[in-house]
Amino acid sequence: MTQTLDPVAEIEALEARLAEARGAIAARFIGQEKVVDLTLSALLAGGHALLIGLPGLGKTRLVDTLGTVMGLGTSRIQFTPDLMPADILGSEVLETGEDGRRNFRFIEGPVFTQLLMADEINRASPRTQSALLQAMQEREVTVAGQHRPLGPPFHVLATQNPLEQEGTYPLPEAQLDRFLVQVDVPYPARDTERAILLATTGSEEAAAEPVFAAEELTRAQALLRRMPVGDSIVDMILDLVRAFRPSDDSAPDVVRDAVAWGPGPRAAQALMLLARAEAMLRGRLAPAPEDVAFMAGPVLKHRMALSFAARARGTDLDALIAEITESRTGIAPA
Tell whether omega for the bond before 153 is within 30 degrees of 0, i.e. cis. Answer: yes
Checking 263-270 for CB contacts under 8 A at 24+ apart, the result is: 263/299, 263/300, 263/303, 263/304, 264/177, 264/303, 266/177, 266/303, 267/177, 267/241, 267/299, 267/300, 267/303, 268/237, 268/238, 268/241, 270/45, 270/47, 270/180, 270/181, 270/299
CA angle 230, 232, 237 (to 5 degrees): 100
* H/E segment holding residue 291: helix 289-300
| CA–CA gap between residue 239 and residue 290 (Å, rounded) | 15
| CA–CA gap between residue 88 and residue 81 (Å, rounded) | 13
| CA–CA gap between residue 157 and residue 178 (Å, rounded) | 11
Q: Which domains are seen in the chain, by residue range? A: 7-214 (3.40.50.300), 228-329 (1.10.8.80)
Q: What is the pLDDT along the chain (334 residues), one digit of tens a residue?
A: 344 567 778 887 888 888 888 888 888 888 888 999 999 999 999 999 999 988 888 888 888 899 999 989 888 999 888 888 888 888 878 877 777 788 877 788 888 989 999 988 888 888 888 888 778 888 888 877 788 888 788 999 999 877 666 667 888 787 888 899 999 998 988 998 898 888 888 777 777 888 888 899 999 999 999 899 999 999 999 999 999 999 988 889 999 999 999 999 999 999 999 999 999 998 888 999 999 999 999 999 999 999 999 999 999 999 999 999 998 888 888 7
Give me the pLDDT at residue 13, please: 81
| CA–CA gap between residue 168 and residue 170 (Å, rounded) | 7
* H/E segment holding residue 221: helix 214-226
CA angle 62, 184, 289 (to 5 degrees): 105
CA angle 39, 40, 46 (to 5 degrees): 95
Contact 321, 266 (CB under 8 A): no
Give me the pLDDT at residue 166, please: 66
Strands 305-306 and 259-261: antiparallel
**What does pTM read for this prediction?**
0.88
Q: Which of 241, 263, 117 is nearest to 177 (CA)?
A: 263
Give me the pLDDT at residue 243, please: 94
Q: DSSP readout, 155-201?
A: EEEEEE-SS--TT--PPPHHHHTTSSEEEE--PPPHHHHHHHHHHHS
Residue 103 forms beta bridges with which residues? 95
Give me the pLDDT at residue 270, please: 95
